[in-house]
Amino acid sequence: MFDGHFLRVNIINLISASIITFVACYFLKTFNLNDMLYVTNIFGLLFLVIFGIHILVESGYVKNNHERFLLAIGLIIIYDIIFLIFVPMFFGSGFLKVSAFPVSLFGMKFMFPLAVVTYFIIFAAVVLVLNYLLYLRERRIYGLE
């Protein structure tokens, strides 16, 4: 599974996802929306996980089973680390501010922290759900049900 083609495709997908993210960050930076830079993470994640893994599944380098999800989780972690290192380096660290969202449940008040890590977890969950839907579609197309 870990031959030259597999690694080359993943590296190219990581670079492409990073370029997509940096363009989106530059776009937000030009409109002075520095507090919203973390949103660009989902653009890169969608390209990396949905498009990149789809290519690997179609080419046969990754099986359309648990390997697909393990690869998706690994790529999400690697991409988020790259995002957290390079985006503040190039665009400033304005997206690291923490805010809170008040939630009232059964008369008790909670403060739900809306930090960048919280958004990354939400974005990762969204991408994994989309990856699961693509997995189900491909099982139906190839008659593996």
The model's pTM: 0.80
Of these ranges, 53-57, 73-77, 134-138, the one predicted with the greatest mean pLDDT is: 73-77
Helix, strand, coil in percent for the chain, rounding step 5: 75, 10, 15
- CA–CA separation, 103 and 105 (whole Å): 6
Considering its fold, how many domains does the chain have in total? 1
In 3D, which of 82, 115, 62, 68 has the Cα closest to residue 11?
A: 82
Range of the domain at 19: 4-141
pLDDT tens-digit map of 28-48: 889 988 878 888 889 999 999
Biggest CA–CA distance in the chain, Å, is 57
pLDDT tens-digit map of 61-94: 888 888 888 999 999 999 998 988 888 888 876 6
* In the predicted structure, residue 99 carries a pLDDT above the cut 90: no
